[in-house]
């Protein structure tokens, strides 16, 4: 069934039935080490997760890891003799397959839950990035980015402990959908003529990008955010948009978001309008508030009034900026986890959100926090909350005791940095 990889036989597949994940006690979980620092952080992540699962369930649950390939590792594993010169002459699909093999897509689809390190954007034209490729091929329409503060992490803000956000970023639409035309393309000229025939004004030398925001795409994203907020007993879901300017894309996202909230979650939610109209501004017990905010003021308010935010649902571009800005509040990119999910098919890919930091490759130096926290989201997705909490607890213990890698150590006084491997071990030690 697979071309070059063999799934392990000492574990079972995670499956999905009627939208509910069925997780055996010994699930097989594929992992992609990634490029650059990917193997360093993966080598720290796997034993740490194993230790958390062992400690939480005393040996009754265990992950069977399944190595799959993507990025440079895939190219050398599947095409050891292919030169760069030969590769760039091949059709775009083949170029992409060299870095993102069919085996890998098949395994992610079949085993449902995968974790991956960062990937280099490879040479060649025609496809933008492997991460985008994985998201598009598997229709992983939600990017979930939880952002929370761990005491002792160096930060530039005064009240970092107030930051506890989860950003639901739409992953498949917006200006990221790849409908773009160079200012010199013949299609650009046709488009300009069409737009002018509709009475629109546009400069001749414009590059053009199209921003599709669909009803179905917006609703499934907001639905996922509200379901998450209800399950986790979060107080508020905020729809973040720039609908005052882009009425039929960003504004429509907001309207469709409220429609989902009222049509599908009527008994669970109160909108901000209803809060003032029907409840005199006093939030009724046990309900979820659904409100909306303009994107630009949200950037100010997550900084100045962090505690007012809990779950944010937004489109691709806003979500991209907002996720990194929020991560900066609590110590930066080395600590920011993420996961890409299709809630209908159940396919889930947890990932470190930083890049491959190539200058630190194989130095056992960088912070594995982002991948460890991504593993914590993965464990939570499996319903293994106890193991997930142990990772949070261990990480908190390591940081507060100043057992940290170089990136955090350099922002603290008199702290000697420890290695990636040692950090993983410190996390395990502080689980107790």
By CB under 6 A, name the binding residues for ligand NAP. 37, 118-121, 131, 333-334, 351, 354-357, 366-367, 370, 407
> What is the smallest separation between the CB atom of 366 and ligand NAP, expressed in angstroms?
4
CB closer to ligand NAP, 143 vs 229 = 143
| For helices 420-429 and 369-382, angle between their N-to-C axes, nearest 10 degrees | 40
- Nearest Cα neighbor of 326 from 240, 222, 215 is 240
> What is the smallest separation between the CB atom of 324 and ligand NAP, expressed in angstroms?
10
CB closer to ligand NAP, 32 vs 165 = 32
Q: Are 166 and 221 in contact (CB under 8 A)?
A: no
CB closer to ligand NAP, 49 vs 366 = 366
- Nearest Cα neighbor of 99 from 356, 323, 376 is 356
Which neighbouring-strand residues pair with 236?
Answer: 289
Has 429 been annotated as catalytic?
no
> What is the smallest separation between the CB atom of 411 and ligand NAP, expressed in angstroms?
11
Give me 22's structure tokens: 């069925």
Residue 58 falls in which region: left (phi positive, over 0), alpha (psi -120 to 50) or beta: left
Reported for 332-336, long-range contacts at CB under 8 A and 24+ positions apart, including other chains, are: 332/407, 333/370, 334/366, 334/367, 334/369, 334/370, 334/405, 334/407, 334/408, 335/150, 335/153, 335/367, 335/369, 335/370, 335/373, 336/145, 336/147, 336/370, 336/373
Has 242 been annotated as catalytic?
yes
CB closer to ligand NAP, 104 vs 218 = 104
Question: What sections of 138-214 are H helices per DSSP?
Answer: 186-197
Residues 6+ apart with CB under 8 A from 397: 426, 427, 429, 430, 431
> What is the smallest separation between the CB atom of 154 and ligand NAP, expressed in angstroms?
13
CB closer to ligand NAP, 334 vs 394 = 334
> What is the smallest separation between the CB atom of 320 and ligand NAP, expressed in angstroms?
11
Q: Which residue is nearest to ligand NAP (CB)?
A: 355
- Nearest Cα neighbor of 69 from 134, 10, 144, 140 is 134
Pairing of strands 20-22, 288-294: unpaired
> What is the smallest separation between the CB atom of 12 and ligand NAP, expressed in angstroms?
29
Q: If DSSP codes are grouped into helix, strand and coil, which group holds residue 156?
A: coil
Q: If DSSP codes are grouped into helix, strand and coil, which group holds residue 425?
A: helix
CB closer to ligand NAP, 37 vs 237 = 37
Distances (CA, A) of 100 to 171, 350, 354: 19, 17, 19
CB closer to ligand NAP, 251 vs 355 = 355
CB closer to ligand NAP, 121 vs 345 = 121
Q: Which is catalytic among the residues 185, 296, 359, 385? A: 296
Q: Which is catalytic among the residues 116, 234, 242, 254? A: 242
Residues 6+ apart with CB under 8 A from 190: none
Q: Which is catalytic among the residues 176, 228, 258, 381? A: 176
> What is the smallest separation between the CB atom of 407 and ligand NAP, expressed in angstroms?
4
> What is the smallest separation between the CB atom of 399 and ligand NAP, expressed in angstroms?
13
Distances (CA, A) of 91 to 4, 98, 421: 22, 11, 40
Return d(Cα 393, Cα 154) in angstroms, integer: 18
Q: Which residues are catalytic?
A: 176, 242, 296, 320
């Amino acid at each position: 069934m697979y071309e070059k990889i063999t799934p392990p036989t000492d574990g079972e597949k995670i499956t999905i039935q009627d939208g509910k994940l069925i997780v055996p006690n010994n699930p097989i979980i594929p992992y992609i080490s990634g490029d650059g620092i990917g193997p360093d952080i993966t080598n720290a992540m796997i034993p740490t997760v194993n230790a958390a699962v062992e400690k939480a369930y005393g040996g009754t649950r265990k992950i069977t890891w399944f190595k799959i390939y993507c990025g440079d590792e895939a190219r050398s594993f599947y095409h050891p003799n292919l030169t760069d010169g030969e590769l760039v002459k091949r059709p775009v699909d083949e170029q992409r397959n060299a870095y993102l093999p069919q085996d890998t897509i098949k395994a992610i689809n079949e085993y449902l839950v995968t974790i991956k390190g960062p990937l280099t954007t490879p040479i060649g034209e025609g496809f933008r990035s492997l991460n985008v490729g994985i998201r598009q091929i598997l229709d992983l329409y939600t990017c979930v980015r939880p952002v929370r503060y761990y005491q002792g992490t160096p930060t530039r803000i005064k009240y970092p402990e107030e930051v506890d956000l989860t950003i639901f970023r739409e992953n498949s639409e917006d200006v990221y959908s790849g409908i773009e035309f160079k200012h010199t393309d013949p299609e650009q000229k046709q488009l300009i003529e069409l737009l002018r025939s509709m009475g629109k004004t546009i400069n001749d030398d414009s590059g053009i990008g199209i921003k599709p925001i669909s009803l179905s795409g917006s609703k499934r994203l907001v639905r996922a955010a509200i379901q998450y907020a209800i399950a986790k007993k979060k107080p508020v879901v905020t729809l973040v948009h720039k609908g005052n300017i882009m009425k039929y894309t960003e504004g429509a996202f907001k309207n469709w978001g409220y429609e989902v909230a009222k049509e599908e979650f009527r008994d669970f939610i109160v909108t901000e309008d209803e809060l003032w109209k029907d409840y005199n501004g006093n939030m009724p017990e046990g309900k979820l508030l659904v409100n909306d905010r303009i994107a630009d003021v949200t950037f100010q308010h997550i900084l100045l009034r962090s505690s007012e935010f809990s779950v944010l649902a937004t489109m691709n571009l806003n979500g991209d900026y907002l996720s990194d800005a929020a991560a900066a509040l609590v110590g930066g990119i080395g600590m920011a986890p993420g996961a890409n999910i299709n809630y209908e098919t159940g396919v889930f890919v947890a990932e470190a959100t930083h890049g491959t930091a190539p200058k630190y490759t194989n130095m056992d130096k960088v912070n594995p926090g982002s991948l460890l926290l991504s593993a914590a989201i993965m464990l939570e997705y499996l319903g293994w909350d106890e193991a997930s909490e142990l990772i949070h607890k261990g990480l908190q213990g390591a940081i507060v005791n100043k057992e940290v890698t170089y990136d955090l150590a350099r922002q603290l006084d008199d702290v000697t940095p420890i290695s990636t491997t040692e950090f993983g071990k410190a996390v395990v030690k502080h689980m107790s």
